[in-house]
Amino acid sequence: MRKKKSKGQIVLHIVFLLLMVAYILPFVCLVASSFTDETALVQNGYSLLPSKFSLEAYKTVFRTPMKMIRAYGVTITFTLAATLLSTVVMSLLAYPLSRPNFIWRKQLNFFVYFTMLFSGGMVPSYLLIRNVLHIDNTILVYILPGLVSAYYVMIIRTSYRAIPDELVEAAKIDGAKELFICFKIIIPLSKASIASVAFLFLVEKWNDWMTSMLYIRNPDLYSLQYLLQKLLREADALKNYTGLGMSSELMPTETMRFAMAIVAAGPVLVIFPYFQKYFTKGMTLGGVKG
C-alpha cells in the first residue's frame, strides 16, 4: 500500500511540475521578448533569453513618463477605492440574503440573480451615466458603475450560509443584534471568501479600459490600460505610415506589446501573493456549498 501511495504521489508531483512549467515558460518568454531588440525578435523568433538585449520597447512605452505616472496614479486610485467600497457593499448585501429569518430573502435573491441573466445594455447605461448621473469624464465613472456584482454576491452569500446557525443563535441568546452578528461573527469567519472576491474585483478594475474609451475625454483621467492601448495604436499607425519616410525598424511595435504586458500586469503580480492564501479556500467555500 505504501509503495502504491508513493508511486501515486510521484506521478502527481510530476504532473504538477509539468503544469507549473507550462505556466511559467510563457511568462519567461514574455519577459525575455520585452527585452529583445525588435529586429532580432523578428528574425530569430521567441526564446527564453533575449537574443539581443534592448530597452528600446520600454523607452518607447515611457517616452512620456508623466503621462504614464499619471495613468498609474488614476488607475491605482479608482481600483483601490472601487474595490474597498464594492467589498463593503457586497458583504453587507449578502448578509440578509443568507439569513433564513429575513422575510424578503427569496424576493431579493431573485432580484439579484435576475441581474446575472439580463442587463440594460450599453446604450441605456451610457445615457444613465452621462445624462442622469452626470459622472462622465470624472473619476467617479470608474467607481460607481458596476459597484455590485451579482455573481460575487452569491459567492459571499454561500460562504455565509456555510457558517453554523448555532453560532448565530448563541449570539442572539446573549443579546447580540443583527449588525453585531454581521460584523463580529459572520464577516470575520468569511474573510477567505471576501478576500478572494476582493482580489477578483481588483483585477477586473485594474484591467478596465473600456470605461476610459466611452466616458473619459480628459487625458489626465485616462486609465493605464487605455493609455497603453492608445500608445500601441499610435505606434502601429506611425509604423504603417510610409509618408513620414521613417524606417519601420525604428518603431518596436512587437516588443512594445510585451513591454506593455509587463507594465500593466506588474502590480497585480506583486499583490497576488498576499491574497493567495485566501484564494483557494475562499472560492471553494463560496462555490461548493449551497
Residue 170 is assigned to a structural domain of this protein: yes
Chain centre to alpha carbon of residue 55: 28
Residue 47 is assigned to a structural domain of this protein: no
Residue 50 is assigned to a structural domain of this protein: no
For residue 153, the one-letter residue type is: V
28 and 61 in a common domain: no
Q: Retrieve residue 23's grid coordinates.
A: 505556466
Comparing CA positions, the residue from 245, 246, 216 lying closest to residue 229 is: 216
**CA–CA gap between residue 85 and residue 143 (Å, rounded):** 8
* Mean pLDDT, range 141-158, rounded to an integer: 90
Instruction: Report whether pLDDT(288) > 60.
Output: no
254 and 136 in a common domain: yes
116 and 11 in a common domain: no
105 and 14 in a common domain: no
Average model confidence (pLDDT) across the chain: 82
Residue 43 is assigned to a structural domain of this protein: no
**CA–CA gap between residue 47 and residue 28 (Å, rounded):** 9
Tell me the per-residue pLDDT of 71-105, one tens digit each, with 9 for 90 and over: 989 999 999 999 999 999 999 999 999 888 888 88
**CA–CA gap between residue 80 and residue 203 (Å, rounded):** 10
153 and 26 in a common domain: no
Residue 202 is assigned to a structural domain of this protein: yes
- Residues 6+ away with beta carbon under 8 Å from 255: 33, 34, 35, 36, 37, 38, 41, 54, 56, 57
The predicted structure's pLDDT at residue 121: 79
The count of domains in the chain is 2
Tell me the per-residue pLDDT of 34-67, one tens digit each, with 9 for 90 and over: 888 888 887 887 888 888 888 888 888 888 888 8
In terms of pLDDT, which residue wins out, 272 or 75? 75
Give the range of the structural domain holding residue 28, as residue numbers without chain letter.
2-34
Residue 51 is assigned to a structural domain of this protein: no
Q: What is the pTM of this model?
A: 0.79
